[in-house]
Amino acid sequence: MQSSNFDKQTNKQTNKQTNKQTNKRKSNIELLRIISMLMIVFHHFGVHGGFEWKASNITIQYLWCNLIVIGGKIGVDIFVLISGYFLITSQGEIFNLKKILKLWGQIIFYSLGIVVIFVLIGNHNYNVKILIKSVFPIIFSSWWFASAYFVLYIIHPFLNIFLNMLSKKNYQTFLMLLIIMWSVIPTITTSEFQSNSLGWFLTLYAIAGYARLYGFNKIYTTKKYFILCLIFFALTYSSSLMFVVLGARWSVFFNHATYFYGMEKLPTLLISLTLFMGFVTLKIDYHKWINTLASATFGVYLIHDNNIVRPFLWIDVFQNFKYQNSLFLIPYSILVVIFVYMICTFIDLIRQRIFEKPFMFIVNKYADNIVKSFVKMCNVLKKIMFG
């Protein structure tokens, strides 16, 4: 009898440990988050560094910058693909105020915090307009990605209902329509075809949702996905180099050297999707340090690409433009990007511990009552509007 009780207790402990391991998110996708954010930071180093390139003077430094900026929109696409992959199966309530406020809290923390810090140190002028924008960063698109992503996050439960109701065949048809309208046509014609950032995010969400629910062709292994990604990357970069060569004679080509780098362009979509699927099929167990670093990736973005921080970082502090004609630009860019990434990660991990925990304690305490009040208000409005 004692032995039986001991076995039961042992089994309970084993089951608890197994459940904990099961609930822990594997680190393959989390590693991809880190890589994607590094690509985005490299992109911003090249785009916002104050460089002035000329078609008549193509240098190794220019070719390097042309190479690192390709990762920016790839990183953006991958972040949305990751969200769609995980959120498509979420079966929670339609309006999860706790998660929404958690996301909003992180955005507002950096929006207000950065303004306050720069005003206090005298590096930024204060006025009512700046204050209003910093209080409502999502409405005024202080970060374009954050605003579009926030809206996507709010409406994703309704997307899930729609996408999960589709048959596999209809889902495939729906995806083909979205890709043709908002990727193929814009790539060929330069027209956005009534799309915008949010419309493109919806497309990526649907693509990732299909990957999670049904998967793609099983003949594609991790190795094949990575090979395809390298091929698409090489072709995209080669097309840019061809534009650069032609731009030496016709400036219009040089001015559009990064045309295929756009987040909705078909080459970028193919690179993003194959890289994403490569990591989805990659077998990496749970590693706490990877997941911890990955939890700060959105914070890295909010800090380093803030409208106030951006010129201060790349122009004032690191003065990227000074290395335009120096071969040291390549190692310098690598060191700077890693340094910026590490500092921003450190800051966000501190924010999570010191500010987010007490904030979420308050949210968890009062969110349910707020939601109930909100639902009552919506029901009253429904009766007024629809009878």
- For 325-384, what is each residue's pLDDT tens digit? 999 999 999 999 999 999 999 999 999 999 999 999 898 888 878 777 777 887 888 778
What's the mean per-residue pLDDT of the chain? 90
Q: At what angle do helices 329-351 and 27-47 cross, to 10 degrees?
A: 120
Contacts of 320 (CB under 8 A, 6+ apart): 45, 48, 49, 50, 51, 314, 333, 336
The predicted pLDDT at position 8 comes to: 40
Q: 10 Å Cβ neighbour count for 8?
A: 10
In the chain, what's the furthest Cα-to-Cα distance? Answer: 90
Residue-wise burial string across 245-283, b where 16 or more C-beta atoms lie within 10 A, e elsewhere: ebbeeeeebbeebbebbbbbbbbbbbbbbbbbbbbbbbe
pLDDT tier at 96, thresholds 50, 70, 90: confident
- Is the CB of residue 69 less than 8 Å from the CB of residue 262? no
- Is the CB of residue 138 less than 8 Å from the CB of residue 150? yes
Percent of the chain, pLDDT > 90? 71
pLDDT tops 70 at residue 4: no
The predicted pLDDT at position 381 comes to: 80
DSSP structure class, residue 49: S
